[in-house]
Amino acid sequence: VALLGAKTFQNYIAGEWVEAGTGETFETASPANGETLGVFPRSGAADVDRAVAAAREAFEEWRLVPAPRRGEILFRFGQLLGDEKEDLAQLMAREMGKVLPEARGDVQEAVDMAYYMGGEGRRLFGQTTPSELRDKFNMSVRMPIGVVGAITPWNFPIAIPSWKILPALVCGNTVVFKPATDTPLLGERFVELLAEAGVPAGVVNVVHGTGGEVGTAIVEHPDVPVITLTGSRDTGVAVTKAAADRLKHVHLELGGKNGIIVMDDADLDLAVEGIVWSAFPPRGSAAQPRAGSSPTRRSTTRSSRAS
Amino acid sequence: VTEAERLRLGVGWEEDTDVGPVINKAALDKIHSYTEIGREEGAKLLTGGEVASGDGLGKGFYYRPTVFGDVDPQMRIAQEEIFGPTTAVIRVRDVDEAINVSNGIEYGLSSSIFTRDVNQAFRAMRDLKAGITYINAGTIGAEVHLPFGGTKGTGNGHREAGQAALDFFTEWKSIYVDYSGKLQKAQIDTAE
């Protein structure tokens, strides 16, 4: 994988690769063998400010780009992701540990989302509704909101950014994206490919750094009306509180403890296969299961895996 | 247990690896702390329960797939998200108890039932308090065109993916176009 080798990376703001104002950095290493992967900016509130300003400016044009055109850019992104699937999977195995079949699945999920949301560019259906008065026409339409703050975890480092960023874009919003500090390299590749697909400067911006610094600055920023977070329950509660004063829209996907019930009439081999696949993810995690139940056999497994 | 022991740990980019490393040292320590907690709570460790080393695994963060038996639903290993390869097996008497046990946690992401009894399957579909229920499949396998997310402590009611994602990333605007050329008053002019 060409990107490996302690290369130094930057933030991506208004279509330019830029240093963080803080001058600070953090280094990442592979959980599989300790190999150094890259050096990334440990950004601060001023960097978030720049990114939000860029996203806010870009919003005024992006919201006017016809939705089918926005969708076509997502189709191209899906195509590029598909072309890069093997390289991204190899990188994922190194950066966060997933085995290749699952890493390929992670990328495929983003490909699927790109095509699905690309198609939404020609739908985004609203409603027409009769009026109670003559010679009057009523309709309700979907409007973009503005700058979306997307804060993502390491466990699905390509799929989860796609769930957040691609629908945000097809709807006409712009994005400030903070990838997890454990998977900044994949976050960086994700945005490079978006730019290559034709997403204009400023429409998607990346600010690397910690949740406490960059995440907090995004959540508290007055010009970011929408926050989408996948993370821990504690972080979700903190984000909700911080966003409350400005009545921000907050989407949260937090913890899980997924029970699997096995009844005594179940196909046991199938159940075992399903439980092992769910409980012992070929990386060390999604939200894990507990197994349980059947009058005679009785088992529920509770394991931890997100899906 | 046999299947868990058969899984080969290793670097993710080798095709014969079944299970890769956990994400970092903090995760490894947290996962192992839950093994200690499970032991102290009186659960029976059936396999795993240790950091894996040897064959070069010591250079990364590897944990043996871990299964606890004799688990009580109230134990911390059955309640808290460990975010690692640890599973708790809980015995229950019937489908009602199974559903209660499955619901008896603060989260509500995924759930699953393995059964060939259509009545039990539909009971589970109705009564499992989670954003996602799988029938005869494990708790992973979401597709992008269905809503993804969970109830209770897993979220705040919004969903990703599917059409639901569009509701989160847009706001509705209602538009009234009067082409009558005169002032018409809703609710007032309509009164007989």
| Optimal mutation site among B117, B133, B166, B169, interface A, most CBs of chain A within 10 A | B169
Distance from CA of B18 to the nearest CA of A (A): 6
Residues in chain A with pLDDT values less than 70:
1-6, 281-307
Among chain A residues, CA nearest to B56 = A33
For chain B, give the number of residues.
192
Distance from CA of B42 to the nearest CA of A (A): 17
Residue of A251, A261, A260, A258 whose CA lies nearest to A231 = A251
- Mean pLDDT (whole number) for B154-167: 97
Residue contact B17–A99, C-beta within 8 A: yes
Residue contact B112–A274, C-beta within 8 A: yes
- CA–CA dist A114, A121 (Å, integer): 11
| Optimal mutation site among A87, A294, A300, A307, interface B, most CBs of chain B within 10 A | A300
Report whether pLDDT(B95) > 60: yes
ipTM: 0.93
Residue contact A133–B84, C-beta within 8 A: no
DSSP A194-237: HHHHTPPTTTEEE--S-IIIIIHHHHH-TT--EEEEES-HHHHH
Average pLDDT, chain B: 95
Q: How many helices (H) and strands (E) does chain A have?
A: 9, 15
What tokens does B100 get? Answer: 């209660």
- CA–CA dist A10, A191 (Å, integer): 12
> Of B92, B169, B175, which is closest to A300 when you measure between CB atoms?
B92
Among chain B residues, CA nearest to A161 = B160
Residues in chain B within 8 Å Cβ distance of A167: 160-161, 165-166, 168-169
- Mean pLDDT (whole number) for B145-171: 97
Secondary structure class of B119 (helix, strand, coil) = helix
Distance from CA of A76 to the nearest CA of B (A): 18
In tens, the pLDDT along B36-60 reads 999 999 999 999 999 999 888 999 9
> Of A254, A258, A284, which is closest to B21 when you measure between CB atoms?
A284
| Optimal mutation site among B59, B82, B117, B144, interface A, most CBs of chain A within 10 A | B144
Distance from CA of A20 to the nearest CA of B (A): 25
Residue of A206, A164, A157, A149 whose CA lies nearest to A183 = A157
Residue contact A258–B112, C-beta within 8 A: yes
What tokens does A200 get? Answer: 């204009």
Question: What pLDDT does residue A6 have?
Answer: 63
Distance from CA of A114 to the nearest CA of B (A): 10
Cβ B107 vs Cβ B152: under 8 Å:
yes
Residue contact B107–A254, C-beta within 8 A: yes
Residue of A200, A7, A57, A284 whose CA lies nearest to B66 = A284
Residue B122 exposed, middle or buried by CB count within 10 Å (0-12, 13-18, 19+) = exposed
Question: Which phi and psi angles does A95 have, rounded to 5°?
Answer: -75, -40
Question: What pLDDT does residue B55 have?
Answer: 86
Among chain A residues, CA nearest to B66 = A280
In tens, the pLDDT along A215-254 reads 999 999 999 999 999 999 999 999 999 999 999 999 999 9
Distance from CA of A299 to the nearest CA of B (A): 4
Residue contact A301–B178, C-beta within 8 A: no
Report whether pLDDT(B182) > 60: yes
Question: What pLDDT does residue B190 have?
Answer: 86
- CA–CA dist B76, A41 (Å, integer): 38
Residues in chain A within 8 Å Cβ distance of B85: 279-281, 284-285, 288
Distance from CA of B188 to the nearest CA of A (A): 10
> Of B112, B173, B178, which is closest to A261 when you measure between CB atoms?
B112
Residues in chain A within 8 Å Cβ distance of B24: 31, 182
> Of A32, A131, A287, which is closest to B81 when you measure between CB atoms?
A287
Question: What pLDDT does residue A306 have?
Answer: 38
Report whether pLDDT(B155) > 70: yes
Residues in chain A within 8 Å Cβ distance of B153: 233, 254-255
Residue contact A99–B18, C-beta within 8 A: yes
